[in-house]
């Protein structure tokens, strides 16, 4: 076996800004001419992170070796920024794409060596050209699409549908091995209460499912590229509970609540997993103790008052998945029928 590389201990000065990059092969580099008062940090080497089964603690070991490179679109969003910090803690080099090209890497209390694994970059999926998106994802091992429509960031049609298609097209062109998409539970059920409620906001649910279905068509017979589409339940700002608190499902028949932290952890696990894990799969995710039939998940869930229903917990779809680790949860998920649309019947804006 090759000799183990010694940990790099040199401390260097670096400014975290869009132009900042790591040195070749992750070696420490210096940037001269730093203005007084600029934060001095350590240029990181690749970090390998092991999380506890509950996912609520991490132990990081640093060594000079190549890591995953994960591009996150929507990196300033509530879920996207958690994807960035989680990926950095997991040892990945992260490109944080935002509309303006800025990213506050200190928000989550990351150590300086982890901060320098994050490169902010301008990447507005509603406005960037195909060529610009291609350049952003070039060389990435995975892309996480956590962008969504907002008052200042484009319409659902521009972001959740066409923006996703644009990013997927670039991933295929650049042979990015995995595209992880954050969609929404109930997105394939136009008659469900959650769909009806959320779709009033500019038709966002229709845009999401049309974006999903476009991805399924685009990835038919792609040998070196795959997608993972996750549909979280009602998103909360609560601390993450970890993998053992989660339930995954397929078929869009059940939902519940889940924290953004746990969704981010699942995104990163999917992005860094082996090619065969959750390949071309679509699934729902929620805390197991909040599980309910989709028809009964309504406004109370979105307001955080939902605690689950015992009858719904006992009622099985046959596709529930539990596990002690994120990879355990993802292992064994069924792949989608290639190219088959999942948009359900019903009126939609």
pLDDT tens-digit map of 151-165 = 888 999 999 999 999
Mean pLDDT of the chain: 81
Do residues 41 and 115 lie in contact, with contact meaning Cβ atoms separated by under 8 Å? yes
pLDDT tens for each residue of 162-183: 999 999 999 999 999 999 999 9
DSSP letters for 175-224? T-SEEEEE--TTTT-TTSHHHHHHHTTTTHHHHHHHHHHHHHHHTTT-SS
Phi, psi of 80 (to 5 degrees): -60, -45
How many Å apart are CA 97 and CA 265, to the nearest integer? 18
327: left (phi over 0), alpha (psi -120 to 50) or beta: alpha
Apex CA 257: angle with CA 250 and CA 295, to 5°?
A: 60
Give the sign of the dihedral formed by CA 109, CA 112, CA 114, CA 118. positive
pLDDT tens for each residue of 331-347: 999 999 999 999 988 76
248: number of CA atoms within 13 Å, CB side? 28
pLDDT tens for each residue of 269-285: 999 999 999 999 999 99
pLDDT tens for each residue of 219-268: 999 989 999 999 999 999 999 999 999 999 999 999 999 999 999 999 99
pLDDT band at 314 (very low <50, low <70, confident <90, very high): low
- Whether 302 has a pLDDT exceeding 80, the answer reads no
Beta bridge partners of residue 292, listed in sequence order: 255
pLDDT band at 316 (very low <50, low <70, confident <90, very high): confident
- Whether 89 has a pLDDT exceeding 60, the answer reads yes
pLDDT band at 308 (very low <50, low <70, confident <90, very high): low
Do residues 239 and 261 lie in contact, with contact meaning Cβ atoms separated by under 8 Å? yes
pTM: 0.80
Q: What local confidence, expressed as pLDDT, does residue 296 receive? A: 75
Q: What local confidence, expressed as pLDDT, does residue 345 receive? A: 80
To which H or E segment does residue 55 belong?
A: none
Q: What local confidence, expressed as pLDDT, does residue 151 receive? A: 84
CA torsion, points 168, 174, 180, 183, in degrees to nearest 10? -10
Q: What local confidence, expressed as pLDDT, does residue 307 receive? A: 52
Q: What local confidence, expressed as pLDDT, does residue 312 receive? A: 53
Query: Which of 35, 42, 52, 36 lies closest to 9 in space, CA to CA?
Result: 42
Query: Which of 214, 236, 212, 216 lies closest to 225 in space, CA to CA?
Result: 216
Higher-scoring residue by pLDDT: 233, 67: 233
Q: What local confidence, expressed as pLDDT, does residue 18 receive? A: 39
For 9, residues 6+ apart whose C-beta sits below 8 A from its C-beta are: none
Read off the DSSP letter of residue 245: G
CA 25 to chain centroid, in Å, comes to 25
Helices 130-137 and 162-173: angle between axes, nearest 10 degrees = 50
Give mean pLDDT, residues 32-59: 34
- Whether 73 has a pLDDT exceeding 90, the answer reads yes
* Integer-rounded Cα radius of gyration of the chain: 20
How many Å apart are CA 147 and CA 159, to the nearest integer? 7
């Amino acid at each position: 076996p090759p000799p183990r590389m010694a940990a790099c201990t040199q401390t260097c000065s670096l400014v975290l800004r869009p132009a900042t990059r790591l040195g070749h092969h992750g070696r420490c580099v210096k940037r001269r001419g730093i203005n007084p008062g600029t934060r001095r940090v350590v240029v990181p080497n690749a970090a390998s992170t092991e999380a506890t089964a509950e996912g609520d603690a991490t132990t990081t070991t640093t060594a000079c070796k190549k890591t995953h490179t994960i591009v996150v679109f929507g990196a300033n969003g509530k879920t996207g920024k958690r994807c960035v910090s989680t990926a950095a803690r997991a040892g990945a080099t992260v490109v944080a794409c935002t509309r303006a090209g800025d990213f506050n890497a200190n928000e989550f209390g990351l150590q300086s060596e982890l901060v320098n694994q994050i490169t902010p970059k301008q990447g507005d999926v509603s406005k960037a050209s195909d060529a610009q998106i291609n350049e952003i994802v070039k060389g990435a091992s995975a892309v996480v699409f956590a962008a969504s429509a907002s008052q200042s960031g484009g319409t659902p049609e521009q972001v959740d549908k066409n923006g996703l298609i644009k990013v997927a097209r670039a991933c295929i062109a650049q042979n990015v091995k995995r595209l992880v998409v954050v969609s929404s539970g109930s997105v394939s059920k136009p008659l469900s209460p959650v769909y009806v409620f959320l779709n009033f906001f500019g038709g966002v649910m229709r845009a999401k499912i049309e974006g999903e279905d476009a991805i399924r068509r685009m990835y038919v017979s792609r040998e070196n590229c795959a997608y993972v589409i996750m549909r979280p339940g009602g998103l909360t700002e609560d601390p993450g509970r970890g993998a053992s608190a989660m339930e995954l499902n397929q078929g869009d028949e059940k939902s519940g609540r889940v924290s953004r932290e746990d969704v981010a952890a699942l995104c990163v696990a999917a992005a860094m997993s082996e090619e065969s894990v959750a390949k071309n799969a679509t699934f729902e995710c929620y805390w197991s103790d909040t599980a309910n039939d989709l028809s009964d998940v309504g406004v109370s869930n979105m307001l955080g008052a939902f605690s689950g229903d015992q009858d719904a917990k006992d009622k099985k779809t046959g596709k529930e998945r539990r596990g002690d680790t994120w990879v355990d949860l993802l292992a064994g998920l069924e792949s989608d029928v290639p190219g088959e649309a999942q948009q359900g019947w019903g009126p939609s804006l």
